[in-house]
Amino acid sequence: MNKTPDFSTAKHLATLILQFTSLAELYTKDYEAELYKQGFESRQAAKKMITDNARVAHSLHLSLMRLENTLLQKISEAEQDDFLDDVGFLHEMCLLITDRCGANETKRTMVRAAIFNIKSELNICQ
Q: How do the domains of the chain map onto residue ranges? A: 8-116
**Percent of the chain residues topping a pLDDT of 70:** 81
Q: Note the pLDDT tens digit of each residue in 33-84.
A: 887 787 776 567 777 777 787 788 778 777 777 766 665 556 677 777 787 7
What pLDDT does residue 71 have? 53
Q: Between these two residues, 20 and 41, which has the higher pLDDT value?
A: 20
The whole-chain average pLDDT of the chain stands at 79
Q: What's the number of CA atoms in the CB half-sphere (13 Å) around residue 10?
A: 6
Q: Average pLDDT of 82-100?
A: 87
pTM (two decimals): 0.62
Checking if the pLDDT of 28 tops 80, the result is no
Q: What's the number of CA atoms in the CB half-sphere (13 Å) around residue 106?
A: 0
Checking if the pLDDT of 85 tops 70, the result is yes
**Percent of the chain residues topping a pLDDT of 90:** 21
